[in-house]
Amino acid sequence: MPSTPISDSGAEVPVRRAIMIVFVLMLIEVAGMFEQAMVLGSLPFFANLFGINLAAAAWVITIFVLTGAASAILAGKLGDMYGRRRVVLVLLAVSLAGSLITITIGTFPALLIGRALQGTSIGIVPLLIGIARETLPKSMVPMTVAYLTATGTITAGVGMFVAGLFIDSGDWHYMFVVTAALCAVTLILTRVFVPESTVTQSGTIEWVGAALMAPGLISLLYGISVAQGAGLTDAGVLASIGIGSVVLAVWVWWELRVPSPLVDLRLLVNPKLAKTMVVILLTGLATISVNFVSNPLLALSPAEYPIGIGLTATTFGSFALAASIITFIVTPLSGRIAARNGASLAMVIGVALLLAVYIGLMIPAINSSVVGFFLANMTVMIGNSFVISSMFNLVVEAVPAESTSQYIGVAQVASNVSRAVGTVIASVLLSSSVMPGSTAPTVAAWNLTMIYTIVVSIVVLVIASYMFARRRATRSAEAPHAIADTEVTTV
């Protein structure tokens, strides 16, 4: 028996060192998520500050997402090949440079350049999960993924709150001072406490695949994001989505032909990974994404409307912050469940929570009550955290250790794309019938959106339940052999 736990790389991991690594990984997630969340409520401010319209101001979010989409897969692949810690250090340095450019120049073009550089931090998440699998005891990996998810959830709430304080105080630059400080601190801590990677892939980067994938993803995501304002029938939207889809189709064709692809899509024939990817796409299309549109609409619409609570923006933000704190406390339970019973069970629980909420939101006593809204909002946050953490843990269970980061990156991008599509679908359904002179949906439009979400969630629940049942059957079949082997060894 080893005196200390063993990681997937075969290295012994002292407990204190493992705890410190988890702390550093969580702090890196804080840095990345703060960059992502801090501007979400700041678009009207930036529009007024720089004298531009809201569509132009929205580029501070769009450009972050676009560079992040390419970063998630490319950084994951580079980390698997050349060392995850090394790539994390590079991405943190790039993000730090983005913050410094914004602080020192302060113009809107500089802000966009800074946000583009900061967007590469989205690629850090696959690397963090890869580092966890490589350096931590196997039993700690699901818990660490859950902690990272919970950290992202609470940081998003805190990030928007802190950013609002800086904007109200009259100096928005301090948002980027905070991100620069977080990046600088995490750079040092990563360099000191996170070990060099030992589980790496051989080979080189397949640059043709990279050249096809990045513009294809960016074009597709740009078209989807613009569609929320311009509409799906807009010529520019259709052209962007069409070009992106064609380029990605060519990329898939190319990746299946080359001997050393950027992403080995052949692994998708693995039944477990294939089912996982289907679950990821479906949760993005409805189970996770609809709440992004319906939640603020329900909260902020006037209480005299059939669908509306009439909260102020401050109260809504306070509710979100309180719910995120509770979610941070509860979410590690999903990692504990995944470690003991498999990530599919954690997925079942998360989807079941979300399904219960979406059914409940069709009941007037819940969707017109402040208390009902808070409980529903809190349950949705917890359910989403369970779903997201179990999504990543399912990928970890299905792929080799040396390929962890690139497939986590693929899962992250697939989820982001499907969430973007899901928000467009939700927006179209909610706006199919609105109260005269407002953007608030009628009861018919609201219920139609909930029914769409419920149907998709049931499909996800069936698939995840089947995966859990298969896992239990497999473990039950293996148990007698394990006992027999033990008896033979004892004899």
* Domain boundaries defined on the chain: 1-198, 206-261, 266-491
Record the pTM. Answer: 0.81
- The pLDDT, as a whole number, for residue 451 is 96
**Mean per-residue pLDDT pooled into runs of 10, the chain (491 residues):** 51 78 94 85 77 76 82 84 90 94 89 91 90 88 91 83 77 88 95 81 72 84 75 82 91 85 78 90 89 82 85 77 87 91 94 95 88 90 92 90 84 85 85 80 92 96 94 73 44 34
- The pLDDT, as a whole number, for residue 282 is 94
Which residues does 433 contact at the CB level (< 8 Å), separation at least 6? Answer: 441, 442, 444, 445
Which residues does 220 contact at the CB level (< 8 Å), separation at least 6? Answer: 240, 241, 244, 245, 248, 417
Query: What would be the CATH architecture of the domain defined by 266-491?
Result: Up-down Bundle (1.20)
Contact 150, 332 (CB under 8 A): yes
| CATH code linked to domain 1-198 | 1.20.1250.20
- The pLDDT, as a whole number, for residue 482 is 47
- The pLDDT, as a whole number, for residue 487 is 45
How many residues are present in the chain? Answer: 491
- The pLDDT, as a whole number, for residue 45 is 79
Which residues does 373 contact at the CB level (< 8 Å), separation at least 6? Answer: 298, 299, 309, 311, 319, 366, 367
Residue 203: both structure tokens together: 């080979």
- First vs last C-alpha separation in the chain: 19
- The pLDDT, as a whole number, for residue 225 is 74
Contact 240, 352 (CB under 8 A): no
